[in-house]
Amino acid sequence: MASEKAMDIEKKSMAIIEQEVGKHNYNELEWIIVRRIIHATADFDFAKQNAIIFHKDAITSAFNAIANRCVIVGDSDIVLAALNKKSLSDFGLGCVCKISDELVASEAKQLNKTRAEVAMRRSTDDINNGIVAIGNAPTALYEVIRMANEKIVKPALIIGIPVGFVSAVESKEELLNVNVPYITNKGRKGGSTVAASIINALFGIYRDRMG
State the CATH number of the domain containing residue 164: 3.40.50.10230
Residue 160 lies in a domain: yes
Residue 13 lies in a domain: no
pLDDT of residue 86: 94
Residue 56 lies in a domain: yes
pLDDT of 132-186, one tens digit each?
Answer: 999 999 999 999 999 999 999 999 999 999 999 999 999 999 999 999 999 999 9
Side chain identity, residue 103? L
Residue 8 lies in a domain: no
- 55 catalytic per annotation: no
Average pLDDT score over the chain: 93
Distance set, CA 88 to CA 11, 83, 136, 168, 174 (Å): 22, 8, 21, 28, 30
| Domain coverage including residue 108 | 52-209
Residue 16 lies in a domain: no
Q: Which of 13, 29, 39, 164 is catalytic?
A: 39
pLDDT of residue 6: 66
Residue 20 lies in a domain: no
For each of the chain's 211 residues, which pLDDT tens digit applies? Answer: 455 566 688 889 989 998 999 889 999 999 999 999 999 999 999 998 889 999 999 999 999 999 999 999 999 999 999 999 999 999 999 999 999 999 999 999 999 999 999 999 999 999 999 999 999 999 999 999 999 999 999 999 999 999 999 999 999 999 999 999 999 999 999 999 999 999 999 999 999 987 5
Return the axis-axis angle of helices 58-67 and 28-41, rounded to nearest 10°. Answer: 80
pLDDT of residue 4: 55
CA dist 201 and 211 (Å) reads 14
Residue 79 lies in a domain: yes
Total domains, the chain: 1
Edge-first strand order for the sheet with 94-96 is 52-54, 182-185, 157-160, 131-134, 71-74, 94-96
Residue 194 lies in a domain: yes
